[in-house]
Chains A and B, each alone.
Chain A
Amino acid sequence: MSGRAVALVGGATTPFGVRPTTWAEMAQEVGAALFRAVPELRTDEVDSLFVGAAEPERFAFQSHVAPLAAEQMGLRPHRVIQRTELACASGQSAIRSAYAAIASGLSDVAVAVGVEKMNLPSMAEANTSMGCVMDRPWDGPHGATAPPFFAMVAQRHMLEYGTTEEQLAAVSEKNHRFANSNPHSQFYSKKFSKEKLLALPLVAPPLRLGDCSSMTDGAAAVVLASEELVSRYTDAPAWIRGTGQYSDFHNLAHAGSLSQWPGLSVAAREALGRARISVGDLDVAEIHDCFTISEIVEYEALGLCGPGEGGPFAAGMSAATWSSTLAAACSVAAIHSARPGSPRRSRSTASSRSRSRPPARHPTRSGPSCTISRAARTSTRSWSIRPGARRERGHQDPAHVRHRRVPGAPPGRGRGTG
């Protein structure tokens, strides 16, 4: 990609769930966690802040949240400060905007933070707010919210490709199982077998309670830095190699077939093209799963399997186990550990390319290394990527989430030490 190379150099999350805390308090909480996780980062080095927030006006009765978040996090951004709002993609968009600002030279060190407070005293009020994501005056009066929309996607996918309720449950079972290894996830201590998921009540047929992500409160933040400054914060950055985005429709009348999401295919091709890799090069994909059916349709749109094969692919993924841990790609950003020709190619990936294998393209083939994990809501926590991480069963080992400086790495500057 043109412009300066940009990397994620650290990050943190709060716990997620039904939390007795406010939007602003969670901004403070994630700010504190972020600076603990990246001890070399000083507040005055953060020149820009991007705040992903979907509907704080509705859910927290608060607009103008970018300056609010800056103040809560103890930041005084002096290059760029802005909010990004794209429903489920709000936080992802904040990361992408931070990337763009740094690549262009406008920013050198930026924080991207996402904060959502969704649980309200009145569930009907919360659902009213969710309805505003739709084309409110045209789709809203009919009772359009996310569950019936994704239910129609599931219905068409089942009708056209034979996708089953069991395959939907396989997505949920896998993601809940992964959540059981993340203490910050909403359902960390709750076990969901496929049988249990299939017995849960219907919310919007054919989707059951376990097919729908829950209302949640939580926050996550990452630090991005330009190539010149990356070594100040970590010796094992996650370089952003490619990114893509596409807007398909808003009013439901323009949703197309429902069963295929061609816009996501366009975005994926762009992200992979910019990264100069193919989908077969990926070791890990973190895929958005607001509803189980979306993960299945996204498999197909991303090219992880063929059109209509998402259901069987989901069943195959459900049977997979953790086999590698280095974040590689997601629906919007394909991230890899070095850009071609970069002198700062990290030790971990200089050798990883030769070890990597394409993901299984068919569920009956035993693919060694394609692990699809739950989206940011449940899979993130305080982390920094360090050499050798991909060789470990990292998500089961609390030690890997600690920021650790590797002996011999370039010296970083401690916060407040000047």
Chain B
Amino acid sequence: MKKYIKMICVSLVSTGAILFVCNAYGSGLVGQPQFDAPATTGNVATAENASVNNAAVMANEPAGPSAQLSASHSGATKQAPAPVNGQQVEVFQNVEAVR
């Protein structure tokens, strides 16, 4: 994809106008979202603290309150938990979002 775009730009630089277009809009080359497989370094849940939902048991329990976890976050209140692997990252704070 990168080579293809470069070829287009190179092939069109014969005129100053097109060269300007390439400079102005030849910004970052953006890819599509890539599925990120789960890391294999995490511990595996043990039988003691993980249990597969049992429909029969669940049916006998009174329905309690519930909510879905989501990617929406208030950001400014609490940062994301610290990233690992010693890699420098930036934490998007989503300051535009209204909690």
A binds B: no
Chain A residues at the B interface, C-beta cutoff of 8 Å: none
**Residues of B participating in the A interface, judged by any CB pair closer than 8 Å:** none
